[in-house]
A = this chain, B = another copy of it.
């Protein structure tokens, strides 16, 4: 019954329903494979965060993206 929270940026091309389902399935299977925790009540929550609200290294992702271009 682990709980997993994934936070990542909401990009211009947002995550598809299939990608979200694949992340949820993949994490749940990983927990079964590595530590044999029963998957039926494993909860996975994906938070999509605006790039203005997500910072790495003291800068927002918005700024980091613009610098790369």
Residues of chain A touching chain B, judged by Cβ–Cβ distance below 8 Å, are 1-9, 15, 17, 19-31, 33-35, 37, 39-49, 52-63
The answer on a CB contact under 8 Å between B8 and A58 is: no
Q: Which residues of B contact A40 (CB under 8 A)?
A: 56-57
Given that A26-B34, A52-B20, A58-B28 are contacting pairs, would A1 and B47 also be in contact in the complex, using a CB cutoff of 8 Å? Answer: no
| CB nearest neighbor in B for A8 | B2
* B56→A41 contact, CB < 8 A: yes
Closest 9 CB pairs of A and B: A24-B55, A28-B58, A2-B8, A44-B55, A46-B53, A26-B30, A3-B7, A5-B5, A22-B34
B19→A34 contact, CB < 8 A: yes
